[in-house]
Amino acid sequence: MKTLGNIIWLLFGGIITCIEYLIASIGLMITIIGIPFGLQTFKLATLALWPFGKQVQDTGSSGGCLTVIMNIIWIFIGGIWICLSHLGFGLLLCITIIGIPFGLQHFKLAGLALTPFGKTIVG
């Protein structure tokens, strides 16, 4: 069932979302300062490509000082807008019963998009 959900996800926008995150990741990695943010955007791209069956978990260093500072910077440079866009798509998809599983995947992406530092994707 996860594979079918992922295939439908890819056909109806998952591949486009992944490509957008990959382009943003490459753009951020051009500068040395942007490399950590580019890596987090790449993390979003991997989850956006195949979200069904994957979980976002906190790492052991999720409460560290550097992780908190990087998450705050991330929120201010665009993380809040990425999160809000995924929340909007999630709410829109949850209007119908068929769209609920896809809306839940957008909510998963929204959580990761808000604070990606100190989190990992498993599954």
| Total Cβ atoms within 10 A of residue 76 | 9
pTM of this structure: 0.87
Query: Which tokens go with 26?
Result: 């490459």
pLDDT at 36: 93
pLDDT at 38: 94
Question: pLDDT (tens digit, 0 to 9) for every residue of the chain, 123 residues total?
Answer: 789 989 998 888 889 999 999 999 999 999 999 999 999 999 999 999 999 999 999 887 666 788 899 999 999 988 999 999 999 999 999 999 999 999 999 999 999 999 999 999 998
Single out the residue of 54, 68, 51 nearest to residue 102, CA to CA: 51
Q: Specify the number of domains making up the chain.
A: 1
Domain residues for 64?
2-122
